[in-house]
Structure 1
């Protein structure tokens, strides 16, 4: 990462804070805040799923800290969820939350690299994959494995995002309008190289793997920060990670403006702004193994 020296000492402090928040802690924090801020969104997706009869066995692929797992447990109170992820630390965090919520007896965690050899998993009636398929090195191979894993007549729900959420208005911040979009543009080439399947149309790929795609929906998400104080924390955590990833490609003026936003002691920093919102789009495919 290239380093830029801000003319404001407090902004340099924000930079060190951003670096400290990176890695596992920052990633887990973003996942937890996504689950908190978008809880209503996750619940609406699970309510929409055309499952037929309620599933008793569910598999959550790439479960992270469990946003999908807990939404599914709430939606299907008689179900058990097998939560699969490559990160033992994220799985431990999920288990701790399951204990706190009193549902640990309904959750089984499995550590697995889904680009490698898959472990033996219970045959589910529902497989859920939220923001995980685009991380696969060979997603078509993973889709075929899900098809083979599912019980006949079972449903595969793929939830994918077009990109990272936006938090600021287009004309913000006042001293550097359009900053957030320039940050995302700076990251776009790197993201295209590292995560080439983000934004893919999963319908044809699901059909090629043997599924019947029963429905597809684009969901527009808008959560006003004035109604939810967690939006400010989500914006701070998300833009810290964006800074870590895009710093090398940003103009010095943009980097300084971003550091000022991330400075929690600055009166114009993110925690003190009244114009924040979470704006994003997610697409859901519901595919049946016939």
Structure 2
């Protein structure tokens, strides 16, 4: 009979548990984010005049065109997402973010449309490559799937109709990732974004699924695996299959219902 050995997660050569810890800590920043506004104006509203309005209904096809959602190889996929960010709506988006315009301001119904994860991933990567953090500030009814994907990936998104209405080109903004306080530093106005659901807040505070994954991997490396069978009292209430599953459970602190 062939025996299987349960072992901890094995790291690649040159990677240590200590480096995993550093990565996990780095993923959950509490530093206040600062930058200037990058506003999507509605071209039909006479930008530069008192009639100017922010652009509504920017969908995910405009954020990441379909042609930029695929690539010839995994190595070039991330670059396609970054290069495709607002390719047609704002061709110089990447350069503007790199110049410090890392507070994206848009109107209602931002990121409606398809559920492509490439959109928040590409936007975040554009800022990451310049050592910046991007904050998306939209008005009402942001796309639900985009919002959840953003939290999963660690991209900051807030809904604040008042902040969007007040924002002007060149305004300096700050955002506190801990309290979610948004401030227009130029105008001296503070804003309280639309509250998140309990689950969204939990995901956001975790730093996203990649940070959670790093923490889980770190724990799996440092924890010695074990097979712990239920005690007799618990076993009497379980089928044989349930006992096997229970013995191999990951969350050792859990007790039978």
- On whether the aligned pair clears a TM of 0.5, the verdict is no
Alignment TM class, shorter chain as reference: under 0.3
Comparing both structures, which one devotes a greater share of its residues to helix?
1
Q: Which has the higher contact order (CA 8 A, sep 6+)?
A: 1
Whichever of the two has the greater Rg, that structure is 2
TM-score where L is the length of structure 1:
0.26
